[in-house]
Structure 1
Amino acid sequence: MGGGHTPKTVGTIWGLLVLNTLGSAGAKTIVPLPRSLIQMVTMGALVAAFALALAVNLRLRIRASAYVFLLTLLLVTSVISSAHLESGFGALFRCTRLALFVGTLWLLSRWWDGSLTFVRHHIRMYFAVLGSVAAGLVASPGAALPDLYGGRLVGALWPLTPPQIGQYAAVITGLTVLLVLGRRTDRAGAAVVIVPSLVLLALTHTRTATLGLFLGLALAIGSLLLTSAAARRFFTWAVVCATVAAVGFASVLQAWFLRGQSKENFSSLTGRAKVWDALLAAPRTTGEKWFGVGLGDKSFGGLPIDNSWLAVYNEQGLVGVTLVAAIVIVLGGVALLRPPSLQRACAIFLISYCAIASYTEAGLGDASPYLLHLALAAALLATPAAAAPRATPDPPRRHIPRWARRTEVP
């Protein structure tokens, strides 16, 4: 199992999973796209991903993975909570989607061997998504920077929200920086990814993604300080630049961070806290408390929850929260126990980014980019499969001349 050559089809499957998790809700696009059409494309991508994964792994060879096992338990919890149809038949549809997503990860686990193969797939696919965002910005700046979102960057070709774009830009920027530090890519090629991604991140004004990028990189690079001189130099320069920026551009950074909001609005996390308080204060039956009301659209009272833990509590109950916490703790614990390496640093970045983003973004309880980021972390933390031992050949028989052969005297 695992190891050896990874089929090119695996990259295609990963790309289809990325397409599926883009979602169908967002800003108005230049060419109006019916939501039913977008859902057909995203769901079709997931079905195609599962079919291709099955085709390249017909023998159903999988690797033991605590991450995918816990996701499977979360799927069971989701089915139990959705069976009552409190969230409508859409809940069962979302359970089917999650089942295909988890099944595809099980089939791909055969090639999870701790290599950087899936990191490169991840960067390529999300960079392609950001390419579509940049193309929309060039084609129609007004549609890409609408007043409805306060002038923040959105997807004008595909309906993507500012937090989504910020998330994709931050994740591939962090991974590419780590590849440069590990000398797995050249600086010129890395700049092609990092510079446009940072520009798009700045245009989204997404605070969560920005904090996740810097804090995640700090933890990841910190894990390399003892073994990498390049990491030590980068960390030193980063601290110097951050200090200069904080002193010289404090007012500019504060204005960007506040996004024109009042301090009261900022302190309530743009109104999120009101939704959270209402969710926690709502009466619940014992079953709803433990298993939730079923998979929904991550909203409460018609307003987005924007917190992974509360969204999971609402939809999958305390059992779901426990499983999601176990996922983060297990991945983080395994990462801390691994010896220092580039793969470990990338995994630490992804885990810490998802943990930070979970406070103001939903997605850890359903098929989403966050679960895909954590799947990549699990692939990086997997140990290489043991190669089958080769049979030791018999030593060659040496030819002995007949005259030198020893004969027995009868």
Structure 2
Amino acid sequence: MDEDLKRGGAPGGGGTAVRSRAEPRAAGTPKAVAIVWALLGLNTLGSAGAKTIVPLPRSLIQMVTMGALAAAFALALTLNLRLRVRPSAFVFLLTLLLVPSVISSADLESGFGALFRCARLALFVGTLWLLTRWWDGGLTFVRHHIRMYFAALGTAAAGLVISPGAAMPETYGGRLVGALWPLTPPQIGQYAAVITGLTVLLVMGGRTTGGSAAAVIVPSLVLLALTHTRTATVGLLAGLALAIGSLVLTSAAARRFFTWAVLVCAVAAVGFASALQAWFLRGQSRENFTSLTGRAKVWDALLAAPRTTAEQVFGTGLGDKSFGGLPIDNSWLAVYNEQGLIGLTLVAAFVVVLAGVALLRPPSLPRACAIFLISYVAISSYTEAGLGDASPYLLHLALAASLLAAPAAAVQGTRPAVPQPRIPRWARR
């Protein structure tokens, strides 16, 4: 699979590299950049989740994840010693987000952990700045993203094989969790949905073989189904619809895929309506389903809580994305609670900027991948937190920003031609 993704072979083409005219070559990207990206992903795996087969102390997990972030920054700095960075509105706005985060965390209302999270966010943003040197609108980082999260799903699959009872505990309603590494069902569902969507776009654009794509898509969809994660499923379907829709006018493969997808969805909706409804409800009552599994009660309490002017503007400091001991599970409310109205404005700004740039770009496979990622994150932000702190969602958006970056040649421009003196016609004879 890795070799096919790396070669960019077309389906049935025997591994022959296929590149569109608009896609720049990524030959200048060091292989170690993939390690940096994987370390960033490891840092965002988190330390809270289900009980693992071999108990892992939370302090040990935090040491591994934070060590991964420090190693990612150090390696990126080694690769980019001259600190060559490219302009990025997304990373710039993310850097500005540090300001309300530090101001609100400085009074230690949320404890020393708030300042620790600020330092983590600063390292995360600093590493992204160092990586912008290789953001050229190509698909190199897409392949890194798929391999990284496919490896994370591999740990969940291995845990399911080793101990099915630990991997699908009753405490989570029989949903799939990480039995080797403490991954929650929403995390597994998110990783499965994202790499499934990206792989579908790659195979549709002729950037990998059908066999390699199936090796990623089939197990990912199985794991997604076992997690019963509704947000990831809706995000996958809606994101793919928008991404493929952006290619319909210019790609025959996109038109064929879109037609078949509509037919399959129509047949599934008619023939498996009751099964799909039972899967979505997950055994919950309709009242619990409409209240988003109790999330709405936490949201109402958060909005009704009294706040000082400083807390409204700057927030209460970076925390664990909870309110009253319960998870907030909404990126926008979590940002408002921890980073205030300023943080909320900055997060909305970089999402809108990415979406606007994606809409203005001409149709292409990198643009379609970026649209999928932005759409997925926007949908997930309603029931998942993470847009205001180092998280997989910010990593997805960073990947989208790399896909929307202009090629290096377009930014640097070609060397202007030296004007030649005009030679009279009689002198040329």
Give the TM-score normalised by structure 1.
0.94
> Which of 251, 256, 263 is 1:228 aligned to?
251
What's 2:323 paired with? 300
> Which of 66, 90, 105 is 1:67 aligned to?
90
**How many residues are treated as equivalent by the alignment?**
394
Opposite residue 119 of structure 2, the aligned amino acid is T
| Contact residue 24 and residue 38 of structure 1 kept, 8 A | yes
What's 2:300 paired with? 277
Aligned positions of 1:10-409 closer than 5 A: 10-386=33-409, 389=414
Residue identity (%):
83
Unaligned regions of 5+ residues in structure 1, if any?
Answer: 396-410
Greater shift in the superposed pair: 74-83 or 171-180: 74-83
Cα distance in structure 2, aligned partners of 1:275 and 1:3: 46
Report the CA distance between 1:391 and its aligned residue. Answer: 8.8
| Contact residue 117 and residue 318 of structure 2 kept, 8 A | yes
Cα distance in structure 1, aligned partners of 2:56 and 2:253: 46
Cα distance in structure 1, aligned partners of 2:27 and 2:235: 34
Secondary structure (helix, strand or coil) at the match of 1:351 reads helix
Report the CA distance between 1:4 and its aligned residue. Answer: 5.2
Report the CA distance between 1:76 and its aligned residue. Answer: 1.5
Report the CA distance between 1:357 and its aligned residue. Answer: 0.1
Q: CA, structure 1 residues 202+389, in 2 after alignment: closer, same or farther (shift >3 Å)?
A: same
CA deviations on 1:84-120 (whole Å, 9 max, x unpaired) are 1110000000000000000000000000000000000
CA deviations on 1:2-35 (whole Å, 9 max, x unpaired) are 9651001100000000000000000000000000
Aligned-CA RMSD value: 1.5
Report the CA distance between 1:376 and its aligned residue. Answer: 0.1
Report the CA distance between 1:75 and its aligned residue. Answer: 1.1
CA deviations on 1:190-247 (whole Å, 9 max, x unpaired) are 0000000000000000000000000000000000000000000000000000000000
Cα distance in structure 2, aligned partners of 1:389 and 1:189: 38
Greater shift in the superposed pair: 212-221 or 74-83: 74-83
What's 1:399 paired with? none
Opposite residue 358 of structure 1, the aligned amino acid is S
Report the CA distance between 1:322 and its aligned residue. Answer: 0.5
What's 1:398 paired with? none
Cα distance in structure 1, aligned partners of 2:374 and 2:417: 43
Opposite residue 321 of structure 2, the aligned amino acid is K
Report the CA distance between 1:393 and its aligned residue. Answer: 10
Report the CA distance between 1:152 and its aligned residue. Answer: 0.1
Opposite residue 244 of structure 1, the aligned amino acid is V
Unaligned regions of 5+ residues in structure 2, if any?
Answer: 1-24, 421-429
> Which of 2, 5, 9 is 2:32 aligned to?
9
| Contact residue 52 and residue 166 of structure 2 kept, 8 A | yes
CA deviations on 1:306-361 (whole Å, 9 max, x unpaired) are 00000000000011110010011000000000000000000000000000000000
Q: CA, structure 1 residues 327+392, in 2 after alignment: closer, same or farther (shift >3 Å)?
A: closer
Q: CA, structure 1 residues 150+327, in 2 after alignment: closer, same or farther (shift >3 Å)?
A: same
What's 1:403 paired with? none
Secondary structure (helix, strand or coil) at the match of 1:260 reads coil
Cα distance in structure 2, aligned partners of 1:302 and 1:394: 70
Q: CA, structure 1 residues 31+286, in 2 after alignment: closer, same or farther (shift >3 Å)?
A: same
Cα distance in structure 2, aligned partners of 1:138 and 1:393: 67
What's 1:401 paired with? none
Cα distance in structure 2, aligned partners of 1:312 and 1:202: 30
Report the CA distance between 1:144 and its aligned residue. Answer: 0.2
Q: CA, structure 1 residues 333+362, in 2 after alignment: closer, same or farther (shift >3 Å)?
A: same
Cα distance in structure 1, aligned partners of 2:416 and 2:246: 40
Secondary structure (helix, strand or coil) at the match of 1:246 reads helix
Report the CA distance between 1:79 and its aligned residue. Answer: 0.5
Opposite residue 39 of structure 1, the aligned amino acid is Q
Opposite residue 14 of structure 1, the aligned amino acid is W
| Contact residue 3 and residue 385 of structure 1 kept, 8 A | no
Cα distance in structure 1, aligned partners of 2:371 and 2:350: 14
Cα distance in structure 2, aligned partners of 1:276 and 1:390: 56
Q: CA, structure 1 residues 170+390, in 2 after alignment: closer, same or farther (shift >3 Å)?
A: same
Cα distance in structure 1, aligned partners of 2:59 and 2:414: 53
Report the CA distance between 1:184 and its aligned residue. Answer: 0.3
Cα distance in structure 1, aligned partners of 2:347 and 2:415: 41
Opposite residue 107 of structure 2, the aligned amino acid is H
Opposite residue 285 of structure 2, the aligned amino acid is S
Cα distance in structure 1, aligned partners of 2:418 and 2:389: 52
Give the TM-score normalised by structure 2.
0.90
Computing the radius of gyration from Cα coordinates, the structure with the larger value is 1
